[in-house]
Amino acid sequence: KYDVEIREIGSKRSLDQNAMLWGVISEISKKLYGDISEKEDIYLQLLAMSGAKYEFIKVEKRVIEEKALDKLGIRNYKVIKENEEENSVILMVFYGSSTFNTKEMNQLIETTLKYASNCGVDVDEDYWEGVLNAK
């Protein structure tokens, strides 16, 4: 016996969208901090602001101190609560944009462009409109 389902495959974000996202994030970092050193923190803020998917996990503090999260592929997280008795922390772990479909990526980019504009970064809306609609 077999059960077959045929459905449309959702499109993934484009490489142009990804390049544009990181370009704008770099410009935000330069505007706010004078260099691109804070772009990862800005990215994390933008994920939260755009309503990106996330999960909560509990880990021992040593996992963070030993940078073991990187080995697990976890890069986009925020410490929510520390428990001194258990020597643990609760993390809000965001899915990265590499897992986003086009719709989710568009939401992140729209949030990024609004944030950039509010920070005084010049954003060419006409140019980026074409990137946003790339399939």
Q: Are 61 and 89 in contact (CB under 8 A)?
A: yes
What residues of the chain score a pLDDT lower than 70? 7-13, 127-135
Residue 108: per-residue pLDDT: 94
Please state the pTM of the whole predicted model. Answer: 0.78
Q: Are 27 and 124 in contact (CB under 8 A)?
A: no
Residue 34: per-residue pLDDT: 96
Residue 73: per-residue pLDDT: 82
Q: Going by C-beta distance under 8 Å and a sequence separation of 6 or more, which residues neighbour residue 41?
A: none
Residue 129: per-residue pLDDT: 67
